[in-house]
A = this chain, B = another copy of it.
Amino acid sequence: MFGRIDHIGLAVADLESAIELHTRTYGMPLVHRETIAEQGVEAVLLDVGESHVELLRPLSEDSPVGRFLAKKGPGLHHVAYQVDDVEAALGAAREAGMRLIDETPRTGIRGTQVAFLHPATAGGVLTELVQPVEAH
């Protein structure tokens, strides 16, 4: 069902410091930057192998990432797996009895179709399914 790790999402308070760490010290190329108003974040993608690191800076304290930061501080926020067909994957997760955050896919970063699975039935991990634009 899952082809690869699409990205790991990190909650950051200081986006420029996080970019500096990942580009200069870790040597990851910055490949995309986008404000996703619907999710209340400014997001930055860095390349690492076939995957990305996604840095997430909340646009307000009253957003999911803003509340995460206030409660837990910066760090690992979610993992995203690439799937060929996010609707089918979401259906399979539902069939397996998993709790869904998104009942239907929505548009994510760079025009991808995405859906989140609730940590409660995903081993405590906020888990995102990502269907890349080029897959369909």
Contacts and interface: CB of A to CB of B under 8 A. Distances in A.
Interface of A: 1-5, 8, 10-12, 17-18, 21, 24-28, 48-51, 73-76, 78-79, 81-82, 92-93, 96, 98, 119, 122-125
Given A25-B98, A92-B25, A124 B1 contact: no
Contact of A48 (B27, B78, B81, B93): B81
Given A75-B123, A75-B124, A123-B10, A5 B93 contact: no
Given A4-B50, A5-B51, 12 more contacts: A2-B28, A2-B48, A3-B48, A4-B48, A25-B93, A48-B81, A49-B51, A50-B50, A74-B125, A75-B125, A76-B79, A76-B124
A3 B122 contact: no
Contact of A123 (B1, B4, B21, B98): B21
Q: How many copies does the complex hold?
A: 2
A5 B122 CA distance: 20
A118 to B, nearest CB: 12
Contact of A1 (B25, B74, B75): B25
A70 to B, nearest CB: 13
Most buried by B among A1, A3, A92: A1
30 contacts: A2-B26, A2-B27, A2-B28, A3-B49, A4-B48, A4-B49, A5-B8, A5-B48, A8-B8, A8-B79, A10-B123, A10-B124, A11-B124, A17-B123, A21-B123, A24-B96, A25-B92, A25-B93, A25-B96, A26-B81, A48-B81, A49-B50, A49-B51, A51-B51, A73-B124, A74-B124, A75-B123, A76-B76, A76-B79, A76-B124
